[in-house]
Amino acid sequence: MKFRSTGLLLVLSVSLSARADQIVLPVAIYALGPGLTNWSTEIRATNNSDSPLSFNVVDFTGVPALPFKPSAVQVQPHQTVSLGAWSLLSVNPGCNGVGLGGAYFGAFTIERDPHLLIQAAVLAGVFSQTPGGPASCNWEICPSWQGGFPHIPPNSAYCNDGAGPIFDNDRDFFAAGTPITLPWLHTQDTRRTNITFYNPDPVEAAVALTITPADGTSGVTQSITVPAHGVLQINNVFSAPPFDAVRAHNASTTAAASARISSTTRLYAIAWIIANLNSTVSVSQPR
């Protein structure tokens, strides 16, 4: 199954100095998944220097469309700031919180001062039941690092108490025509591998995705179009043609595969390998 969406979501007018590094940070912001799972991203910025450092979110490539609102974060010397991804969006939680109607996901483009460490954790929580109903002003908001979802006190069951892998964010979008490799994909049917493509440019991206099984032979290629300034995700990539052939080639003897990607626009790609048993997740970052 493919998910397609477009939309210019968030552009910030505040900029750092010319020294700033630009990085891409994929995020899930209270997005629902199979088996009553909910996904969110905790972001931590650590300043190990003796001077204040800053970062700005300068763009958001994802869904849904949101109004513009600039913001910036300053991190004091030797301080660690912990934020939920939702708190860097343009929405104001107010009485409604993020809510299931605003299950955002995509990628932030961040400008950061050099030496400021930006890390993210993918949190995978599981609901006991499907939440629903509009929030009201007497609801409380979960801490931002737990997804920011509103709940009725004292029931905090809708806060995301899950845990997941931590990864450093130190890559910008890859330039058009630059090969991208996703080295850790999993073909076994006890796990599902989702691959997400982020196109920050104002034109469609023509993408070639080639996945090769463990023995390095019989690679399979598919052409994909990623919307202008949009995101496209292929869910459970080895469950359907053409990449089910990679799973069949591996058979039961191995589960390894890798992807090679090229694009006509700037692009960032990442893979999520999720266990069907309990929704734990591994992350394959681009190389």
Position 113 scores a pLDDT of 96
Give the residue numbers spanning the domain of 13.
Answer: 2-168
- Rounded to whole angstroms, the Cα distance separating 233 from 3 reads 5
Q: Residue 101: is its pLDDT beyond 70?
A: no
Q: Residue 28: is its pLDDT beyond 80?
A: yes
CATH number for position 254: 2.60.290.11
Domain boundary among 142, 168, 194: 168
Picking from 117, 109, 200, 164, the residue whose alpha carbon sits closest to that of residue 275 is 164
| Shared-domain flag, residues 43 and 113 | yes
| Shared-domain flag, residues 154 and 33 | yes
- Residue 156, number of CB atoms within 10 A of its CB: 14
- Rounded to whole angstroms, the Cα distance separating 209 from 200 reads 18
| Shared-domain flag, residues 76 and 185 | no
| Shared-domain flag, residues 109 and 197 | no
Position 143 scores a pLDDT of 80
Burial label, 183 (beta-carbon count in 10 A; 0-12, 13-18, 19+)? middle
Q: What is the pLDDT of residues 38-83, one digit of tens each?
A: 888 999 999 999 999 999 998 889 876 565 565 789 999 999 999 8
Domain boundary among 133, 168, 203: 168
Position 10 scores a pLDDT of 32
Position 141 scores a pLDDT of 73
| Shared-domain flag, residues 54 and 132 | yes
Q: Is residue 175 part of a domain?
A: no
Among the listed ranges 23-27, 161-165, 217-221, 238-242, which one has the minimum average pLDDT value? 161-165
Q: Residue 228: is its pLDDT beyond 70?
A: yes
Position 13 scores a pLDDT of 34
Domain boundary among 115, 139, 168: 168
Position 32 scores a pLDDT of 74
Between the ranges 9-23, 100-114, 120-134, 249-263, where is the mean pLDDT highest? Answer: 249-263
Burial label, 260 (beta-carbon count in 10 A; 0-12, 13-18, 19+)? middle
Position 20 scores a pLDDT of 75
Angle value at C-alpha 148, between 155 and 78, nearest 5 degrees: 120
Position 37 scores a pLDDT of 80
| Shared-domain flag, residues 65 and 151 | yes
- Rounded to whole angstroms, the Cα distance separating 127 from 157 reads 7
| Shared-domain flag, residues 198 and 275 | yes
| Shared-domain flag, residues 18 and 158 | yes
Q: Residue 9: is its pLDDT beyond 80?
A: no
